[in-house]
Amino acid sequence: MQSHNALEYDYTVAKWFAIAAIVLGIVGMTIGVLIAFQLAFPDLNYLLGEYGTFSRLRPLHTDAVAFGFTLSGIWASWYYFGQRILKVSMAESPFLMFIGKLHFWLYIAGVAAVVVSLFMGITTSKEYAEFEWPIDIAIVVVWVIFGIHLFGMIGIRREKYLYISMWYMIAFYVAIAMLYLFNNMAVPTILVSGVGDWYHSVSMYAGTNDAMVQWWYGHNAVAFVFTTPIIAMIYYFLPKESGQPVYSYKLSLLSFWGLMFVYLWAGGHHLIYSTVPDWVQTMGSIFSIVLILPSWGSAINMLLTMKGEWGQLQTNPLIKFMILASTFYMFSTLEGPIQAIKSVNALAHFTDWIPGHVHDGTLGWVGFMIIAALFHMVPRMAKREIWSKSLMESQFWIQTTGIVLYFSSMWIAGITQGMMWRATDQFGNLAYSFIDTVTVLHPYYTIRGVGGLLYLVGVFMWAFNIYMTFKAGKVLEREPQNATPAA
């Protein structure tokens, strides 16, 4: 075995996933900007026949961003920091190296199958679970392989104690496995009825049960894809980048267990005022409000890690990205519970305030964290400094402006919608027709499209900066201890 100092970490798989994150980020967000403008300017629906309609493109957007960009960014981070936290190089285990590479290529094959099938309109029509059963099985195989790598690395580690990031990665793995298996239980229709395409299936659950299982899964896909692994990342990258130890290890553990116990019960808040039992709705509401505590526990822990070092915000764009990510996480995890209060939900449900909340979290928290993680990893993988610091700085402000335009326009649109849908005249009749609300919202939809476009411009700047870092960045003599060097 090599000594600690001589450890040469192998970043092959981390680099592959980093490239996948950039490519899928560009694809998913370009589609997102197109469909945002389709809502403002409906004629854009007719660009590509059936393949260019909002309904055909929207699942492609959500899945490319949630399971393409985000998962690739998480896995790039895992294949980078997993070795470092556990003090073991992938190069030491030919088996784990093979598993890592197999994980990547099977994942890419799965992504290709998803893109083709969704473009063709082959879908189960379940939110975040649109894939038909053959792809579901392939995804389970990919997940099992990732698990072999995760626990294999833990098994051969030199570091006795598991750092908090590892706890969150394990939770990410176990929870998604359970959620995915249960929600995607389906029966191929040809087996039951003898008709239909071989790949078509129906859910094993019916009606209200299907809705409950779907939103137990749907909300916890947010919990265990958009939250736990991203917290694992910030617990690694923020202390590394700032040179500051995590403010409180106890608080990180308290927040971890709080998140584990509370999040799983909150999915019922998607089904308030529906046919699910009232107790399920109430439980969803209550657990959503309690969820503020562990969520803010993590975010406050991050912010307090910078105690006495706030000057770094002025000099280091990466710290800016991470601190604003934590701030957006705080916004988002306050806004969600507020929307889960029954009286607020009566106004907010089905309105644009809901996507406003979702994108507050995805663009601000998840997006910024993955961008910062890649900016931190690339110089250490390429042994070059970031090509342009001023480009990073400009990207930060352009994207922040985009996020603010996006969520503020959707807040206003959503609350306007909710108020108009509920307004009555003196006879108790509805004061507005549905089309009245559509007309009023047009300017806000346009602003949302512009906000998304600004964020996308930032993603292109990010991709270009990383490409130029590999190609023309100044060569580093040795690895930076903390702050990432940038020209």
Output the six-digit token pair for 81.
């920091």
Whole-number pLDDT of residue 298: 96
pLDDT of residue 7: 86
Identify whether 52 is part of a domain: yes
Question: What pTM value is reported for the model?
Answer: 0.96
Assigned domain for 1 exists: no
Domain with residue 18: its CATH number is 1.20.210.10
Q: Are residues 23 and 449 in contact, defined by beta-carbon separation less than 8 angstroms?
A: no
Is residue 124 within 8 Å of residue 130, measured between CB atoms? yes
Can you tell me the distance from the alpha carbon of 432 to that of 414, in angstroms, rounded to the nearest whole number?
15
Q: How far apart are the first and last CA of the chain?
A: 37
CA distances 357 to 108, 239, 444, Å, are 30, 28, 15
**For the chain, how many structural domains are there in total?**
1
The answer as to whether 484 is a domain residue is: no
Report the pLDDT value the prediction gives residue 6, as an integer from 0 to 100.
62
pLDDT (0 to 100) of residue 429:
96
Q: Phi/psi of residue 123, each to 5°?
A: -155, 150
Q: What CA–CA distance (Å, rounded) separates 154 from 37?
A: 46
In a domain, 394, yes or no: yes
Judge whether 323 lies within some domain: yes
* Phi, psi dihedral angles at 215 (to 5 degrees): -85, -20
pLDDT of residue 5: 54
Q: Is 199 helix (H, G, I), strand (E, B) or coil?
A: coil
Among the listed residues 125, 141, 138, 134, the one whose alpha carbon sits nearest the alpha carbon of residue 197 = 134
Residue numbers in the chain where pLDDT is lower than 70: 1-6
Q: What is the pLDDT of residue 1?
A: 44
Half-sphere exposure of 275 (CA within 13 A, CB side): 6
Q: Report the run of H or E that residue 402 belongs to, with start and end.
A: helix 389-422
| pLDDT tens digits, one per residue of 71-119 | 999 999 999 999 999 999 999 999 999 999 999 999 999 999 999 999 9
In terms of residue numbers, what domain contains 40?
7-472
Residues 211-259 pLDDT 10s = 999 999 999 999 999 999 999 999 999 999 999 999 999 999 999 999 9
How far is Cα 453 from Cα 304, in angstroms, rounded to an integer? 33
The answer to the question of residue 379 being in a domain is yes
pLDDT digit string, tens, across residues 282-317: 999 999 999 999 999 999 999 999 999 999 999 999
Tokens representing residue 146 in the block: 């990732």
The b-or-e profile of 311-349 (16+ CB within 10 A means b, else e) is: ebeeebbbbbbbbbbbbbbbbbbbbbbebbbeebbebbb
Phi and psi, residue 62, nearest 5°: -65, -45
Amino acid identity of 118? L
Six token digits for residue 477: 């003599």
For position 153, what pLDDT does the model report?
98
Pairing of strands 186-188, 201-203: antiparallel
Q: Per the domain annotation, does 267 fall within a domain?
A: yes
Residue 424 phi, psi (nearest 5): -130, 155
Residue pair 219/261 in contact by the 8 Å Cβ criterion:
no
35 within 8 A of 54, measured Cβ to Cβ: yes
Determine, yes or no, domain membership for 480.
Answer: no
Q: How far apart are CA 26 and CA 157, in angstroms?
A: 35
pLDDT of residue 3: 44
